[in-house]
Amino acid sequence: MSMFCYQCQEAAGNKGCTGSAGVCGKKDETALLQDVLIYTLKGVSFFAEKLETGKYEGGLVTAGLFKTITNANFNDDIFEEEITKALALKADLRARVIAKGIDISNAPSAALWEPKYVSEYELQGTIASILATKNEDVRSLRELIVGGLKGVAAYVSHAGALDNFNMDIYKFMFKALAATTDDTKTVDELVGLTLECGKYGVECMALLDKANTDAYGHPEISEVDLGVRKNPGILISGHDLKDIDELLKQTENTGVDVYTHSEMLAAQYYPAFKKYSHFAGNYGNAWWAQKEEFDKFNGAIVMTSNCMVPPTDKYIDRIFTTGETGFKGVKHIGNHDFSEVIAKAKTCAAPTEIETGKIVGGFAHEQVFALADKVVDAVKTGAIKKFFVMAGCDGRQKSRSYYTDFAEALPQDTVILTAGCAKYRYNKLNLGDIGGIPRVLDAGQCNDSYSLVLIALKLQEIFGLESVNDLPIAYNIAWYEQKAVIVLLALLYLGVKNIHLGPTLPAFLSPNVAKVLVDNFGIAPIGEVGEDLKLFMGEAV
Ligand code: FSO
Ligand code: SF4
């Protein structure tokens, strides 16, 4: 049995990664264990759905789903441990379901699997494989749902780190995961469940937004330095704000500066973090350039979530993981105790400068609402003709230069609304401003796409429009991993139409499922910059 994975945009040949390793560096054995973990969590969910369950069950499913997101965890030992934990929970839930006299005669193999030894885990790979679902439309919808749930899990996990939970989201996870094992579900039912997943996408982004802003205040317009200072540094990447909060506290007065990387750039916009004088700027670019940039950073590096690239020998001894992130041989930090990271940083040279200058961000919902009059005036006077939501992810494929070219080609009377690491394709260009409103408004991380939704809904209200689709907003979204899947499903759930998705449509969309999305939501792939621009600006192509 060899791996088969097609969950991200870089799936080999836009079909799927097979053989000994995926494009992301995930090894065959790891991929099989991930499949078996998901399979086991489906079994857990089959029983959990039938019971009054709590935080433990939801937390375990969330953690497991998050660990299997692209570029989150590459450590086989961790996956074996997670499967063992999930099996123990499953046995317990099963006993509780039986004790209640609930009929389980329709239990799927995922619920009934009870291996005795860890050595049996990998052997289950064939049965747990995505390819075990033979009907390609059913498989496609199942994977769309599981992908969306992984995105939900990531956001729920970051909210949970700040003690924010929502049992309804956990319950939906159980229901949806269990449904992906149910062979009686029709394609229509699975389409319905996919849209319901979008509803919980909105809920989990709202939950995380509340968690982040309650704890750290509302993001505000901020200038972020791209250069370096003279002290040794710690570079923190990923999405977890609780981690950077603790790191900033623990590094105070240590002579070590803290820099953000990739998605952690958004931390620079929060009042609670801006107050620290040792909080330096943002170093580097989107996740995929990390091998070279981490080498040049010289100091300690903390990965709080995906996207992690398998580290090179040049920095493997100074990189650390937290949360659900992991890599064999890389020290994992538990309980937010960063003392080892700080000790390591003190032995390192200061970062090598790779860029200079500043960028501006912090345009999350409250900040944009504060500017609403200015923005509305600009729209009314025609100074702003159109907004382009260009949120999502960046990736290493050359074809992603489309997004830089597209941003550069946009007319001067347009504004880009962005969130996620997709912005690194254009956030350092000099695109100017419109009457003081920057032409790139960065709301923050991919989950802060929620802010973009709130901004759109606010504009709809101000302009008294019936539908969010009547606004002068176009959607040209770049995707890479499963968090982008849940952001997309959330937008579809909110009724947003005509989203362009690139650089390629997901490999896991079968032709029929892709057709459903095209026919009902007007989803379209990207084309050539000039033609796409004409299409978006409403000019004849
Ligand atoms: Fe990027 Fe990676 Fe935020 Fe993703 S760093 S690609 S959608 O994990 O999470 O945007
Ligand atoms: Fe391939 Fe993406 Fe799966 Fe990695 S996560 S194995 S690159 S499809």
Looking at the predicted structure, is the pLDDT value of residue 541 above 70? no
Per-residue model confidence as pLDDT tens digits over 228-265? 999 999 999 999 999 999 999 999 999 999 999 999 99
CA angle 386, 202, 189 (to 5 degrees): 110
In DSSP terms, 388 is beta-bridged to 416, 474
Q: What is the mean pLDDT of residues 30-59?
A: 97
Q: What is the mean pLDDT of residues 155-171?
A: 98
Ligand in nearest proximity to the CA of 31: 2
Looking at the predicted structure, is the pLDDT value of residue 539 above 80? no
- Tell me the CA–centroid distance for residue 304 and ligand 1, in Å: 12
pLDDT at position 540: 52
Residue 531 pLDDT class (50, 70, 90 cuts): very high
- Tell me the CA–centroid distance for residue 265 and ligand 1, in Å: 12
For ligand 1, whether the C-beta of 303 sits within 6 Å is no
Looking at the predicted structure, is the pLDDT value of residue 318 above 70? yes
Q: What is the mean pLDDT of residues 309-330?
A: 98
Ligand in nearest proximity to the CA of 11: 2
Residue identified by tokens 């941003």 is 407
For ligand 1, whether the C-beta of 300 sits within 6 Å is no
Amino acid at 207: L
For ligand 1, whether the C-beta of 10 sits within 6 Å is no
**515 CB-near residues (< 8 Å, 6+ apart):** none
DSSP structure string for 56-80: HHHHHHHHHHHHTSTTTB--HHHHH
| Spatial distance between the Cα atoms of 492 and 463, rounded to a whole number of angstroms | 22
Ligand in nearest proximity to the CA of 444: 1
Secondary structure class of 389 (helix, strand, coil): strand
For ligand 2, whether the C-beta of 121 sits within 6 Å is no
- Tell me the CA–centroid distance for residue 498 and ligand 1, in Å: 23
- Tell me the CA–centroid distance for residue 395 and ligand 1, in Å: 9
For ligand 2, whether the C-beta of 150 sits within 6 Å is no
Ligand 1 site-directed mutation target among 304, 393, 427, 486, most atoms within 8 Å of CB: 393
In DSSP terms, 501 is beta-bridged to 477, 525
For ligand 2, whether the C-beta of 26 sits within 6 Å is yes
Cis before 307 (ω within 30): yes
Mean pLDDT, all residues of the chain: 97
For ligand 2, whether the C-beta of 11 sits within 6 Å is yes
For ligand 2, whether the C-beta of 24 sits within 6 Å is yes
Per-residue model confidence as pLDDT tens digits over 419-431? 999 999 999 999 9
**128 CB-near residues (< 8 Å, 6+ apart):** 32, 35, 36, 38, 39, 110
Domain locations in the chain?
3-215, 222-346, 369-536
Q: Which atom of ligand 1 is nearest to the CA of 481?
A: 7
pLDDT at position 289: 98
In this structure, which residue's CA is closest to atom 3 in ligand 2?
5
- Tell me the CA–centroid distance for residue 24 and ligand 1, in Å: 13
Per-residue model confidence as pLDDT tens digits over 357-371? 999 999 999 999 999
pLDDT at position 227: 98
Per-residue model confidence as pLDDT tens digits over 383-418? 999 999 999 999 999 999 999 999 999 999 999 999
Q: Which atom of ligand 1 is nearest to the CA of 151?
A: 7
- Tell me the CA–centroid distance for residue 345 and ligand 2, in Å: 32
pLDDT at position 538: 86
For ligand 1, whether the C-beta of 425 sits within 6 Å is no
| Spatial distance between the Cα atoms of 306 and 460, rounded to a whole number of angstroms | 34
- Tell me the CA–centroid distance for residue 161 and ligand 2, in Å: 27
Ligand in nearest proximity to the CA of 449: 1
Give the CA-trace dihedral at 337, 342, 344, 350, to 10 degrees.
150
pLDDT at position 112: 97
pLDDT at position 428: 97
- Tell me the CA–centroid distance for residue 418 and ligand 2, in Å: 25
Q: What is the mean pLDDT of residues 122-134?
A: 95
Q: What is the mean pLDDT of residues 187-210?
A: 98
Burial of 272 (0-12, 13-18, 19+ CB in 10 A): middle
Residue 21 pLDDT class (50, 70, 90 cuts): very high
| Spatial distance between the Cα atoms of 171 and 69, rounded to a whole number of angstroms | 20
Residue 214 pLDDT class (50, 70, 90 cuts): very high
Secondary structure class of 247 (helix, strand, coil): helix
Q: What is the mean pLDDT of residues 488-493?
A: 97
pLDDT at position 525: 96
- Tell me the CA–centroid distance for residue 290 and ligand 1, in Å: 13
Q: What is the mean pLDDT of residues 483-510?
A: 97
For ligand 1, whether the C-beta of 480 sits within 6 Å is yes
In this structure, which residue's CA is closest to atom 6 in ligand 2?
22
The CATH number for 3-215, chosen from 1.20.1270.20, 1.10.3720.10, 2.120.10.30, 3.90.1150.10, is 1.20.1270.20
- The pTM assigned to this predicted structure is 0.98
CA angle 6, 393, 226 (to 5 degrees): 140
222-346 and 3-215 share a CATH fold: no
| Spatial distance between the Cα atoms of 75 and 84, rounded to a whole number of angstroms | 15
Looking at domain 369-536, does it have CATH number 3.40.50.300? no
Per-residue model confidence as pLDDT tens digits over 341-358? 999 999 999 999 999 999
- Tell me the CA–centroid distance for residue 93 and ligand 2, in Å: 32
For the domain covering 222-346, report its CATH number.
Answer: 3.40.50.2030
